[in-house]
Structure 1
């Protein structure tokens, strides 16, 4: 597969035309205030992960509307008494938190690592405010008539409140909590990190960015859900994109004030590079990006994780 998006020099200058709703801040401040008011105490139960170098807890915290959301907390077994920097990780589209012995890289590198489950998708958390039990996609048009009802209002709120929950753990240094994710997780790292007040954001090949352009040029799911919806409902385009503007990572990036490390794959047909640059170029804090010219949506994988270890070593020191 070759390049199907803008040339690299144009990507680096690309500016998203996503419109920020006038009540964007009020909408999200109200949403978080209501959900925080309904929050219950975070619960932790130790689990046997069959490992000797990492300890794991099954975590339940309060997400959107006070609804319970699951996650795994991984800590190095030899961590000592000092609180650790925290990494809140979000999962890709249709996925869930998985099994407790998966996703161990951050804990092995010395971090407190929280893997948030994804409501309504492939994990253990119901979408109590929407479709109920976890199900197959799509989610981009679920609740399209209003930002109040949209699926990603609930999931982004979960992502922000996961930062709250991790910041409140005894094992975590509350002044050093970061967000991370790939694809959908990368989009949530942006929105949840900004709303939750994370100290830095790691966003890899992020989804949920620049919806209007993504719908025009992406040839793959999940963005093609928008196309399939509108090809039969032609009169609903304006309303749908007005709703999506409330959950578009570009609009969160515009109000970010913390450092971020992005990655982009220049042959990515799932999250086209211009949509990633739409969020990256809108990022209002210190930022850098790693480009992978010959990769598709797999992005940098282990190479990018190595970049993140180095970047965080400099950031945290």
Structure 2
């Protein structure tokens, strides 16, 4: 009996040891890389797009039970496929996709353990680390520089914006500047409120060199992404220019957290967050974007009125919703001569009508066509350089089909940079990039 119990104990200890060993995989040490067979994401119809996957466990023994990679292919062609392969440390695995239709293919992938549980993958750049449940989100396209927006612009597009400008110009350009603390004594900072057409004024923070001479400085206006969080004043200045950072809503500055929570609730439309109500968006003059566009135009009028502006260089910049506002600004104010945007929002809002992969944006109704940034981009003059700093090939907040159609519509000097394996809020460290320029 003693021998029997000893054998049982040894078996139990072995099982515990194996379980501990299985738990000793340090997921932070895993590296997960995906490489497209070329940097240029533009392919011919039917041409293979080859993605090479490599998983490395980082000098630790691989798990006793195999890990796998599960992938999903979707696309503007409406085709959806999936597959899975077993991870063999050090061995590359290829996933090949294609499409016969102009547009983009999206490829997503997850690392999974033997039980099918997603394993988070850590990506590092310097001292910064990001842990992600989805190990890869990227893609490529076919004849992408032939893409156009899905829905024609409204016949009265120009007349509509002429009316909006007339509404704005009925409101005198009056503003208040309240100086706020600026640690860098070579600059002054002001909380700005500017009268504007629409439901609320323009509000934001202005930073300007303390000893600026008249007609000496470029002006830069920066617009914000989606959300209603409190705008904070700057703690440092980094540009020898007039720099005006404008929130999207015209809320009051310097309030407590409860104020901004209440404000966010006040601009909802029924069950919808701001700008997402289809009924509201059906009428372009009642859409939430209308007041936002008014504030964009008024913010540019304001900086042009400042004595220190040199009368020559007026730049707009922003990401996502801020990119959308920047394109509006470059279209609606002919004195803007540079626009730099990052993953710009609401390009090709009607793309869903031709079954293109949709983004996170308001449901399409024709009233949104007046705010589609492609219709605005067409009107940006050749004097204005437009740089799309980033278009993530896995960004389905601002789908690459829409951002590329935006690029294709611009007649001004332009540039776009595609980021492989990058989505809306994440850029893959060391990932492939591809830049396209046109004069």
Structure-1-length-normalised TM-score: 0.77
- The DSSP-based 3-state class of the residue aligned with 2:203 is strand
Q: Deviations over 1:274-313 (max 9, x none)?
A: 111121111121111122222111366999xxxxxxx9xx
Given that residues 265 and 291 in structure 1 are in contact (C-alpha distance below 8 angstroms), is that contact kept between their aligned partners in structure 2? Answer: yes
Superposition pairs of residues 1-317 of structure 1, within 5 angstroms:
5=75, 6=104, 7-52=140-185, 54-65=187-198, 67-77=200-210, 83-95=216-228, 98-101=231-234, 107-119=237-249, 133-134=266-267, 137-141=273-277, 143-197=280-334, 198-213=336-351, 217=356, 221=360, 223=361, 225-226=362-363, 241-257=365-381, 258-262=384-388, 263-298=390-425
- The DSSP-based 3-state class of the residue aligned with 2:365 is helix
Which has the larger share of helix? 1
Larger radius of gyration: 2
**Closer/same/farther in 2, CA of residues 302 and 61 from structure 1, 3 Å limit:** farther
Aligned length: 283
Given that residues 40 and 66 in structure 1 are in contact (C-alpha distance below 8 angstroms), is that contact kept between their aligned partners in structure 2? Answer: no
> Residues of 2 paired with 1:288 and 1:11: CA distance?
15
> Residues of 2 paired with 1:33 and 1:80: CA distance?
32
**Closer/same/farther in 2, CA of residues 16 and 67 from structure 1, 3 Å limit:** same
Which has the larger share of strand? 2
> Residues of 2 paired with 1:302 and 1:32: CA distance?
43
> Residues of 2 paired with 1:242 and 1:219: CA distance?
16
> Residues of 1 paired with 2:197 and 2:298: CA distance?
8
Q: CA deviation at 1:91?
A: 0.4
Q: CA deviation at 1:96?
A: 5.4
**Closer/same/farther in 2, CA of residues 24 and 82 from structure 1, 3 Å limit:** closer
**Closer/same/farther in 2, CA of residues 266 and 171 from structure 1, 3 Å limit:** same
Q: Which runs of 5+ in 2 are unaligned?
A: 1-70, 76-103, 105-139, 431-436
**Closer/same/farther in 2, CA of residues 167 and 295 from structure 1, 3 Å limit:** same
- The DSSP-based 3-state class of the residue aligned with 1:64 is coil
Q: CA deviation at 1:76?
A: 3.8
Q: Deviations over 1:16-51 (max 9, x none)?
A: 123111111011011111111113412212111444
Higher relative contact order (CA 8 A, sep 6+): 1
CA RMSD of aligned residues (A): 3.4
**Closer/same/farther in 2, CA of residues 22 and 110 from structure 1, 3 Å limit:** same
- The DSSP-based 3-state class of the residue aligned with 1:211 is coil
